[in-house]
Structure 1
Amino acid sequence: MYRTTMRRLRDGGKYLSNAIRKRENRSYSNLPCDTVYGGPKPQDPVKRVTLRHLASKYTKKKPITMLTAYDYPSAVHVDQAGIDICLVGDSVGMVVHGHDTTLPVTMDDMLLHCRAVARGARRSLLVGDLPFGSYEQSPSQAVANATRLLKEGGMDAVKLEGGYGSRVTAAKAIVEAGIAVMGHVGLTPQAISALGGFRPQGQTSSGAKMVLEHALALQESGCFAIVLECLPSPVSAAITSALKIPTIGIGAGSKCSGQVLVYHDILGMMQHPHYVKVTPKFCKQYAQVGNIVNEALVSYREEVTNGTFPSRAHSPYQMDAAELDSFIGELEGSGLSLAAEAASTASKGSSENNETVVQVKR
């Protein structure tokens, strides 16, 4: 008896320990890779993408995959697809919230979406965008908001736009605070006020050289990778060759170290005029999910309208016959004869429904 009890306690302890470990692994991606201070054992890089995993792919010249996600379902899909990096982008403002630009997105918006994505993605490296106005004012502001994305949002790293002035200073300060930073040059959507709209960059010799200088400045600040957006392929190839860190292209040709696209764009999620207006030319649609969704919703509306839904098969809940008789009697006793009649009529359909459900299960 004693041995049995002790074995159960020991097994229960193992189960509890494993449960706690799984919960911790879900919450934090970048666990220590070396047991220098007796912490968690080295994690399997195949199960959880880390910066070391990305560096290894870069060294071996294996393309890096990156995709956006903005909520729990999209994060699960991105994760299960084996995508290396899951970006919670401030593009959420355009594809989810219906804005024409990313400028209205706030830190609170980003934190809400980051938390949802962190709950859904267990494998991908999680990167959260620092929204417009959250890092430009001072290094302390940048570090404070970057810290929030990790502590409150569950991210592994942050991304910021621009490779000049306060942007580079912010990137360096965040890196020095111990937070991984991804840079972003070329078309930087947060700077459309200065750029004059969503326009490709680096199309002149001087413009291309400037983008290269910005990328080099971000590398010098300590960024682990840099997004290149809306650039001619030769410019992206030159920047990728000049840098010693990975480049992730979006509308920048095939010569980058990896590629990123927006979740809703590649799935063809929506056909709404507003969304079509903000869908970039460089995006390839791998599906037409929006058409399937539209057809399903129209079918639902039609079935509700013509009374075919819910059918008997979709009305499975029953009352015990004695309870139903009692209920109808209570209604009649309360002077609710019409209600009693409605319940009685529905009970006949319910009985037939029960027979249908049993047949379906068989």
Structure 2
Amino acid sequence: MWRAIASNALTLIIVILVVVSGLLAWGRQQFTAPGPLADAACVRVERGSSLSAVSRTLEGQGVITDARIFRIGADYSDKAAGLKFGSYLVPPGASMVQVLDIVTAGGQSTCGREVNFRIGVTRTDVILRELDPTTSRYVEVVAFDPFAEAVPQDYVDAASDSDLRYRVTLAEGVTSWQVVESLKRADFLEGEIAENPPEGSLAPDSYDSSRGMERAALIAQMQQRQDRILADLWASRQDGLPYANPGEALIMASIVEKETGMPEERGQVASVFVNRLRQGMKLQTDPTVIYGVTQGEGVLGRGLRQSELRRETPWNTYVIDGLPPTPIANPGRLSIEATLNPDETPYIFFVADGTGGHAFAVTLSEHNENVARWRQIEAQRGEDGVTGVQGD
């Protein structure tokens, strides 16, 4: 009888082991198999959330098929305590093991809402946008000018979200004064900026930020990035350029930046100024005159007057020889690169051509013909003022 009992017990144990093994294999297959998501989804892990709460949320959103298997897999992987606060984009068909990796990897959130504080030459914009998981593209929620408009309620409501990300973007050609004045309006930043940074020392680019970041620390990042860009491009510059040091190249790059917004023209514009310096000609470029009038504090907003073209300022290149004493804006990488590796051209003159670009010329007579055509376009548009390098 004991032999029969032992045999039955052994059989029962074997059956249990087979069942357990089957369940483990099934659970492992469920944990690693493609998940139910047909479209990407944004998953939020609240600060201090438990694995149990997160797993139920994931199951409720249709991201995973079984919260219990997810928890067991997390325990087995030693990741149960590794949840990271944030919002994360989960791709279609992600398995439970992939979802677990996403919500425990940490780092910057990959979906949710973002504020882009954009500092432009003519205006500053605060843009609140949200990632659409189905298209992986950001959709604008609200945008406003912090200098001219009341703060929208949508923005106020979003500011309470501890997972809200912040970005500060500088456009090419902004002045240091514009940057500082705009950053004063960035309500998510803190601290004072002791003084305006030197003109040209800030790299136009996009910078990750955060609520409570010091304004001075952000300015320091901009300066460090510009220093690296200038040093790298100076090291690979053309031979024989008429710049005594990187500072002079930065001055020229700021002029190139303000003279054209067309990337394909920068090398030609730089070549004109290089040719003029080599021939001992005055640069005679309007943006330097404008800087002498405004000192970089805002936009002139009108055409230059003849009296201003004749006025003696350190930046008026119709009056002074060579380069002005400082940059006239913060140039971007492409303008610095064009300045240090300009096109090889015979051009000495250029003027606006009515298309957003410029007409270039070798001789003064050719240039005068281009100017006459531009004057006709101006008359048709009811505008006034010539843009570009003028003749002696």
**TM-score, length basis structure 2:** 0.23
Larger proportion of helix: 1
**TM-score, length basis structure 1:** 0.24
Return the index of the structure with the highest Cα Rg. Answer: 2
Larger proportion of strand: 2
